[in-house]
Chain A
Amino acid sequence: MGNVLQLLLAGLATGAIYALAAAGFALLWQTARTINFAQGEFVMLPAFFVLAGTEWLGLPLGLAILLALVLALLVLGLLFKRAIVDPLLPQGVLPVVIATIAVGILLKESVKEFYSAEAQPFPSLVAGGTLHLAGAVLSLQDIAVLLVAGLAILAMQLFLTRTRLGRMMQATAQNPEVALVLGIPTRRMVLYTFLLNAALVTLASILISPVYLAKFDNGETLGLIAFIAAIVGGFNQIRGAIAGGFLVGVVDNFGAAYLSSDYRTGILLLLLIAVILLRPHGLWGRAEERTV
């Protein structure tokens, strides 16, 4: 029983991080028809911005994180949109997919080349330690991650559903033509979506790097898992993607513990393939009518 609780908490904690990445992923798709194959590398990169800040510039951690956020907004938000998505989207979804694959390789190899090929220890925001509860040994780190990510997700949901700006972004995502008619500056909303995604991946990066260490090739698995989460949950609903993130985190942890650690990723992939074949719009997504 204790073991189950432990695994559940660990699963929810990593799941919350996946949910951040998956939500950004779904946002980009909804609002800008952009499937970001580099999303995993997007999560990998900000940690190295932080490390560059602390190691190269000697900044204190807080300041380095701020710097990382600014850089992420500029590079992963603005530059990504202007240099890659804007010129390629008119050609269709597929060229964007291929370009983001190239962006992923570019980011990964650049970090390897210009920072390090080794896994880097990353400062944790909370002290390590454990909490004993009902026979389970719970990691404080997990609890903190779950709290921070959970709050961020809640804040984002409130922003998207309760604020005027958030609702305008949602309206743009649902139906750009109608949004434009309603006088919503859709182009700016699309830009905000890219910036929001950049902020989400920065948070995910800072939360996950203390656990898995910062390494240039972390993005490979992270991107795959974020996508699986988004698909399993439902691509066309942010809530679905978030729920998918948690589900995938939990399934991953339990699968590794009880089924097979050799085929850890394999279990998630089978989940993905099953969902795609049986419920292509995801467990919590809306079905999209096939249009001609």
Chain B
Amino acid sequence: MSAGRLAGPAIGLAVTILLLLLPLTLRGYGIYLMSLWAVLTIAAMGLNLTLGYAGQVSLAQGAFVGIGAYAAALLTTAGWPLALGMAVGVGLGLIVGWLLGYPALRVQHHYLAFVTLGANTLLFLVFRNEDWLTGGVYGIPGIPRPRIFGLATDDPLVFYYFCLAMLLLVTLALGLLLRSPWGRAFEALRENPVRAESLGIDTRRYTLLAFAIGSAVGSLAGTVYAPLVQYIDPYPFALGMSLNLLLMVVVGGSGRFFGPWLGAAIAVLLPEWLRFSEGLYLVFYALLVILVLVFLPGGLMGIAERLRLGRRPVAG
């Protein structure tokens, strides 16, 4: 353990320095990719709470990113500050996520996967069809970048630091949440819901909370995504993004705190590395996911843990 105790902070420090300094050496597109990574990591961390910690599968995370993105886009293009867009987006995410949890009280996890998938499709249809609100297929152009404490973030590098700051805030908040008894109740729910209930853990309430919080974090990611891309239409929030976020969580390591950091990095970088083969990256990606599932149930973070602790993880 003693080497492990030092390794954690050392890796953390190295990653922080990398995240702070690397963009200084990059041009526009590289900075955009790193910003996108930060946004997707936030969304995946939300899903990791719902899926990895509480054991409730959701295939609607992409739609929640959409809810946040539309809330931010609509309000900021109407002249309101992004902070309001964030509050509204997160609030909507909480409410809709809570509602999405209700089917989870009735059905087992595989049914739930399809119900949430259905919910994603429903929300996508709303984004696409309700032209009066969302602009339909034409989307919403000209989403402004926010001013943070009077500082304009129009410069890609400045906006990247904003994305990074949001990621660090979310990471801190989720870290505290998961260390609290709430986090333990979520894990108990995942490990053995019948036993949890018999010990006084109100599994209904915690299930709904897991959905609400995980989804709201997804919406928060959306409120950062909108000013990042500055133009949104419904298509990014179709099922594809939900599946992608799910695979990020799994590849990184479901239920591993920093798994989404790694999973999102692979999801963002893989298409770049596989540029030579254009669309083939999804084929590779899907294969990677299958290989990880079959051979590395703990995801990539699972390997890191195994190396650090020098013992096999417990089958879970």
Asked if the two chains touch in their complex, CB atoms less than 8 Å apart, one says: yes
Residues 208-250 of A contacting B (Cβ, < 8 Å) = 220, 224, 227-228, 231, 235
Question: Which residues from chain B contact A102 at a C-beta distance below 8 Å?
Answer: 247, 286-287, 289-290, 293
Contact B287 A231 (CB under 8 A): no
B102-122: CB near A (< 8 Å → 1, else 0) gives: 110011111101110111011
Number of contact residues on A: which range applies? 35 or more
A102 and B315 CA atoms in complex are apart in Å by: 22
Q: Which residues of B contact A273 (CB under 8 A)?
A: 103, 115, 118-119
Which residue of B is nearest A263, CB measured? B125
What residues on B are CB-neighbors of A83 within 8 Å?
A: 290, 294
Segment of A64-72, A109-117, A163-171 in the binding face: A109-117
Q: In this assembly, does A140 line the interface, its C-beta being within 8 Å of a C-beta of chain B?
A: no
Q: Are B110 and A35 in contact (CB under 8 A)?
A: yes
Verify if A99 is at the interface (C-beta below 8 Å from B).
yes
When the two chains form their complex, are residues A113 and B117 in contact, meaning their CB atoms are under 8 A apart?
no
Q: Interface residues of A: mostly helix, strand, loop or mixed?
A: helix
Quick check: is B307 within 8 A (CB to CB) of the other chain? no
- Say yes or no for A2: interface residue by CB 8 A criterion: no
Taken residue by residue from 256 to 291, chain B's Cβ proximity to chain A (1 for < 8 Å, 0 otherwise) reads as: 000000000000000000000001101101110110
Please measure, in the bound complex, the distance between the C-alpha atom of A170 and the C-alpha atom of B285, giving whole angstroms. 37
Contacts of A94 in B (CB 8 A): 55, 57, 109-110
- Asked whether, in the complex, the Cβ of A93 is within 8 Å of the Cβ of B109, the reply is yes
Set of chain B residues within 8 Å of A113, measured between Cβ atoms: 279-280, 283
In the complex, which residues 80-118 of chain A have their Cβ closer than 8 Å to any Cβ of chain B?
Answer: 83-84, 87-88, 91, 93-95, 97-99, 101-103, 105-106, 109-110, 112-113
Report B-chain residues with C-beta under 8 Å of the C-beta of A35: 110, 113
CB pair B279 A112 closer than 8 Å: yes
Q: Which residue of chain A has its CB nearest to the CB of B195?
A: A292
Whole-angstrom CA separation of A95 from B52 in the bound complex: 12
Given contacts A97-B109, A101-B246, A292-B194, contact A277 B102 (CB under 8 A): yes
Interface-lining segment among A16-24, A45-53, A130-138, A264-272:
A264-272
Size of interface on B: residues with Cβ below 8 Å to A? 40
A positions within 8 Å CB-CB of B: 29, 35, 37, 83-84, 87-88, 91, 93-95, 97-99, 101-103, 105-106, 109-110, 112-113, 220, 224, 227-228, 231, 235, 262-263, 265-266, 269-270, 272-273, 276-277, 280, 292
Please, could you name 30 A-B residue pairs with CB atoms under 8 Å apart, sorted by A?
A87-B294, A88-B294, A91-B297, A94-B57, A94-B110, A97-B109, A97-B113, A98-B246, A98-B247, A99-B294, A101-B243, A101-B246, A102-B247, A102-B289, A102-B293, A103-B286, A105-B243, A106-B286, A112-B279, A113-B279, A231-B114, A235-B111, A266-B122, A269-B119, A276-B107, A276-B111, A277-B102, A280-B106, A280-B111, A292-B194
**CB within 8 Å of A: which residues of B?**
55, 57, 102-103, 106-111, 113-115, 117-119, 121-122, 125, 128-129, 194, 239, 243, 246-247, 250, 279-280, 282-283, 285-287, 289-290, 293-294, 297, 315
